[in-house]
Amino acid sequence: MIHSHLFRPPHGWMRILQYRLLRKHYRIVMWDLVTRDYSKRMTAADVVNNVKRYARNGSIITFHDSLKSIEKLRTALPESLQWLKDEGYSFELIK
């Protein structure tokens, strides 16, 4: 629907056959930091703290644009991006 050549498997999981078929048409992109912004037990501050604790050079950070996370995302995403920028991280598009 979005005409992308990138694919992120839901929950980071797929069967080997799915992987073999999908990689023929898509670049499969995984991540190393899930912010858990979808969790009812997490606050926006908790999400930002996850970014601060686990971000590393080369990290691919997953934020979710869903109803479960939107209220936290409004605060946590800009704060996380600002913190990463202040720490000297740069951002790149995945091609």
**CA-to-CA separations, 22 to 17, 69, 76, in angstroms, rounded:** 9, 28, 32
Of 88, 50, 89, nearest to 72 by C-alpha is 50
pLDDT digits (tens, 9 = 90+) for 9-30: 988 899 999 999 999 999 999 9
Residue 2's pLDDT band, with cuts at 50, 70 and 90, is confident
User: Could you tell me the two tokens for 76?
Assistant: 């946590």
How does pLDDT run across 44-73, given as a tens digit for each residue?
999 999 999 999 999 999 999 889 899 999
Residue with tokens 């056959």: 17
* E strand segments, the chain: 6-7, 27-28, 33-34, 61-62
| Number of CB atoms found within 10 A of residue 76's CB | 24
Q: Supply the pTM of this predicted model.
A: 0.83
- Chain mean position to CA 33: 7
Q: From CA 13, how far away is CA 46, in angstroms rounded?
A: 25
